[in-house]
Structure 1
Amino acid sequence: MESKKSDEVAISSDAKANYDAKGKAVEGDPPPPPPPVVVTTKATKIRNIRGKKGLAIIDIVLRLGAGSAALAAAYIAGNTEQILPFFTQFFQFHAQYNDLPTFTFFVAANAVAVGYIAFSLPFSIVCIVRPHAIGPRLLLVFLDTVMVALVVSAAGASSAIVYLAHNGNLNSNWLAICMQYNDFCQALSGALVASFVAAVFFILLVVNSTFALKRK
């Protein structure tokens, strides 16, 4: 009787060993890890490429907008001139943008911005043809940031002069000249608005390029 029980125990032990050898879970052991999930990335890559191309097209549109606004600012300010219809024996009342270094810097800064836009358009086209190219995008981000600083500084400095021309400063005995040079002041105000619009376009360019670099 005892030998029969020992044989049954031996058989059950062998069966358990065979059960374990087949790789099945044993009571008390942790469950096996789930099988790896294979995800097809082809559709994801296509979406990323289309997204990068879309951002590159937006980049070109923003560059054209920035170049147009900067060109308008430089042209209007550079051609702003007014001569009053009255004069004296020794003085002629004449106002021009280069009478003040601030407006000279303003015209030069916006002209540089226009030249930069013409220089950067081929790189922007490269980003459409090769949406995964990192080098051209990094170069554009760096130069766009420089243009933001240049255009904003020129527009900010000129806005202070335009404000004084319109309102003057009684504490400093600076008289408002726009009552006499109305056309001159109106033209400079329009150029100033165009320059700030160009600055906004450049800021949007930096943001757009940052998103393009972030997409994998």
Structure 2
Amino acid sequence: GVQGVQGVRLANGELFPAEAVIVATGPEEASALLDGGEHAALRRWVQEAVPARVACLDVALKSLPEPKHLGVLSLDQPLYMVVHSASARLAPENGALIHTIKYLKPGERYDPQAVEHELESLLNRFQPGWQREVSEQQFLPHMNATNAIVQAHSGGLTGRPGPEVPGIRNLYMAGDWVGSAGQLASASLASARLAAQLACKQILPPKQTAVESDYSFTIGTR
């Protein structure tokens, strides 16, 4: 039969009773939190999910060597560069913040040092002399860009898991891998909103249920 949510149990064993629970994590973390990772639907979602990962090199510069090159998207290599401080207040006056990434192919192993040199070469090409202007820099070799790539064979956006978890009443998921609306942060917000609406319908009297309305989420830099 269908089980119902009882609450959230902490690692120390303390239980916080709840009529509904929204889990806002990736699929692997969500699966591990429920039935010791043995819940069938969540295990299937984990197996089907193909996360998108990237290597990132961020540099903060005292000045921008080449103001004409504010964004680069390579057509023959999985490389990307953007001067985010050109469109948002992310650096002091006359300074710059540059973000570079390499998209990593799922399942392949990479040498972090070689990838970092590849991103430095991208900066050398489009922002020559950037090393002389460095104030701070950070390299992250294996970042999660999204928990699950949208896949055509599974139905595209409509093929992503819904907020409701089969077999467990009043348990909902939220994240960039959940629901049929949006991508990245927009998907996280849309699925969280839908999960909250579904939870309210189940646990609140009709007159207190949140009013539904259609609107879109816009993620900006300002």
Task: Work out whether the TM-score is over 0.5.
Answer: no
The TM-score bracket by the shorter chain reads under 0.3
Q: TM-score, normalised by structure 2?
A: 0.22
Higher helix proportion: 1
Higher strand proportion: 2
**Bigger radius of gyration:** 1
Q: TM-score, normalised by structure 1?
A: 0.23
